Amino acid sequence: MTQTSSAQFTVGKLDAGMALLLTEDYQLIEFPSVLLPSGVVLGSVVNIDVCRDRETEKRQRNDFRALQEQILRDFGTQQPKAPVIRAGHTTQTWVVIQWDALDLASATLRSLHLYRDGQRMMQPMPTTLTQANAVAAVKTTGLDVGRSYEFMIEMRTSAGTYFSNTLEVQTHALENLSGICVCFGECESLEEVGNLKETLDRMGASYADAVSLGITHVVARYAAGPAYEAAVRYNIPVVRPDWVLACEANGKLQPAIKYALE
């Protein structure tokens, strides 16, 4: 329903886009001159009708309420989930911390920090991994041999700060060779690589076909090839095959520098 009221005014002044209108009981009101009929001058008498459209008011209220409910569904009912971390590859001096893609809901990731034994670590963290079924990882180095550490991730978002579970990791003792994971570069022959793989199996160590975050050493006789280039790029020790044999013979991890490939 539309309610209408009407009033009569006399134009008292026209100036700078505004008109001063005088009511019959000598009240002054300001009125935009652009809304007055064409040709109105000082002294003109105008009738102004004011209407209230209740149907439009109702429609706008309903539209606004629907918008609020939509905002609540999209942004108010789901919260980011704290990351869940787990240990990846572990050696005597470093460990790989892994977690699945971050679930941020509708929030924005601001920062991601790794804590070790309650102390914040100053190392770069991957912050762009939010795709489903993806796995993020970070390698933390400089750990002591045979010691237990606790790790945790702090995730800061526009919706608040969330902490992961606390992960306890024990670095390996020197006699524990299961943390060794090598990738083979350019060697003498396939037979030599096969013999080295058998040695690694006896030691409880492992090997992979390509260089990745979990590779501890690259074994090669020649400073060439994709594995060697990747090792140099990622600062992974490149050792001669003698290093594998020395680890088995001594029953513990040997320093890579003594067998480094020149």
Q: CA-CA distance, 42 to 40, in Å (whole number)?
A: 7
Please state, as a whole number, how many other Cβ atoms lie within 10 Å of the Cβ of residue 13.
Answer: 13
Q: Is 233 left (phi over 0), alpha (psi -120 to 50) or beta?
A: alpha
- Give the model's pLDDT for residue 249: 93
pLDDT for the residue numbered 129: 58
**pLDDT bracket for residue 70 (50, 70, 90):** confident
In eight-state DSSP terms, residue 161 is E
Q: How far apart are CA 210 and CA 207, in angstroms?
A: 9
Whether residue 36 has pLDDT greater than 60: yes
- In angstroms, the CA 62 to CA 92 distance is 65
Residue 250: Cβ-neighbour burial (10 angstroms; 0-12, 13-18, 19+): exposed
**Each residue of 189-230: pLDDT tens digit?**
999 999 999 999 999 999 999 998 889 999 999 999 999 999
Mean pLDDT calculated for residue range 66-93: 87
Convert the pLDDT of each residue in 103-150 to its tens digit.
888 888 999 999 999 999 988 887 765 555 578 889 999 999 999 999
Residue whose entry in the numeric block shows the structure tokens 């992979």: 208
Q: What is the pLDDT of residues 50-64, one digit of tens each?
A: 888 888 999 999 999
